[in-house]
Amino acid sequence: MARIQLYDTATRRKQPLEPIVPGRVSMYVCGPTVYDRAHLGNARPAVVFDMLFRLLRHAYGAANVTYVRNITDVDDKIIARAAERGIAIDDLTGQTEDWYHDDMAALGVLAPTLEPHATAHIPAMVAMIARLIETGHAYAAEGHVLFRVRSYPEYGRLSGRSLDDMIAGARVDVAPYKEDPLDFVLWKPSAPDQPGWQSPWSRGRPGWHIECSAMAHALLGATFDIHGGGNDLMFPHHENEIAQSACAHPEGGFARIWMHNEMLQVEGRKMSKSLGNFFTVRDLLDRAIPGEVIRFVMLSTHYRKPMDWTEEKAAQAFRTLRSWHGQTHGSLAAPEPDAEVLRLLSDDLNTPGAISRLHELSARGERETLAASVALLGLDLSRLPERGQPTAWDEVVSRAVEERVRARSEKRFQEADRIRAILQAAGVAVMDSPEGSRWELTEAFDPRKLEALE
């Protein structure tokens, strides 16, 4: 097994993973805020750090890896969404959490070792906040408690921002009870109709950032090996986590390696409701795009590079995975994945390189090693639809074939030939017989060319 190296955001370089406790690895990853369906961008960190989790389990043994991914179940967005839908907060968070688990399982994401809920760790948050006040790093004001950013000289080191730049950019909440515009909320008062817990400062609820610090400390201690999340969390969330954790527990080092995945685009553009290219994981699954296809497309791009979701990539992934399934079906898996696949994954999760290696194994006919290596990437080929079973593009093709049959029956032969030509160009084989017309997607299938049917 190759030595694992990971890119550390804090030092801007790769460094070897040297566990604090030899032979045992601890990892914390920021999980979902449960108020709505997970969109495709939310799924990327889940898949990325699941891949790391699988690699660590392979290297150290499943019993020696502790992976914590939290559930934020108290948040202003949750309160607003529950009010909007006219349901209890617990009903909203419970339903949304179930959705999240189902959708991530469809992408081959394993359950983490521990999945703490913020609401179950309020006493730990209150205790950490009290400690920050006692040491002068936080202060109470009008029922709020705020962290004194300038009390922590290293603030901004992770994201590479200076305090002056932060003030100039000033996307901060300037409230009259703040000593400094940069100070952030650790505790806030709750209105009578909002969820709240008793504290020395007010009946209220925690700020978002304190949740992860308190839960990471409670479950992994003052120092642990890896902290992960999307790079949109680097500032201010992870920056704030470091500051409050380092000040509350100066005896520890918090996370030794920080990992951040890049963001996601759709067809070359930022995913946005206003652009009409926003969709959830469930939207894709309901279109019969297999979870393995979604996972494969995500792993085809290195986690530190922006990922572009396209229909072409999804179709290509489907063809590749179905080919591998046909090749490995019924084979006995090798005892070990391919050594080169392991080497590539151990080099900062080089999943694109690992997938290229899988293509080589397939071309060489190494069925057993291919099967073991595909499984390491979390791709369960047995869940792929067989030929003839519904796929994401079947509805479009089926309608086109039906229209062609109708055109032929009405002696509109020019239109029937036009449809057949488009289908053939798109890699759809149409076979006519006295019993009717049938079709299948070939290895040359390209869904983009179906647009000519419109």
- The residue with greater pLDDT, 132 or 420, is 132
pLDDT at 448: 67
pLDDT at 328: 86
Question: Which tokens sit at 387?
Answer: 């030929």
Question: In which band, very low, low, confident or very high, does the pLDDT at 224 lie, cut at 50, 70 and 90?
Answer: very high
pLDDT at 59: 97
Q: Hey, how many other C-beta atoms are within 10 angstroms of the C-beta on 42? A: 20
Question: Which tokens sit at 86?
Answer: 């006219």
Q: How far is the C-alpha of 327 from the C-alpha of 320, rounded, in Å? A: 11
Among 68-72, 229-233, 423-427, name the one with the lowest average pLDDT: 423-427
276-328, pLDDT tens digit by residue? 778 899 999 988 789 999 999 999 999 999 999 988 899 889 989 988 998 88
Which domains, and CATH codes, for the chain? Answer: 5-261 (3.40.50.620), 264-383 (no CATH), 394-453 (no CATH)
131-144, pLDDT tens digit by residue? 999 999 999 999 99
100-115, pLDDT tens digit by residue? 999 999 999 999 999 9
In terms of Cβ atoms closer than 10 Å to its own Cβ (0-12, 13-18, 19+), residue 221 is middle
Query: Is 167 a residue whose pLDDT tops 80?
Result: no
pTM comes to 0.87
228 with 260: CB under 8 angstroms? Answer: yes
CA distances from 128 to 10, 213, 313 (A): 24, 9, 46
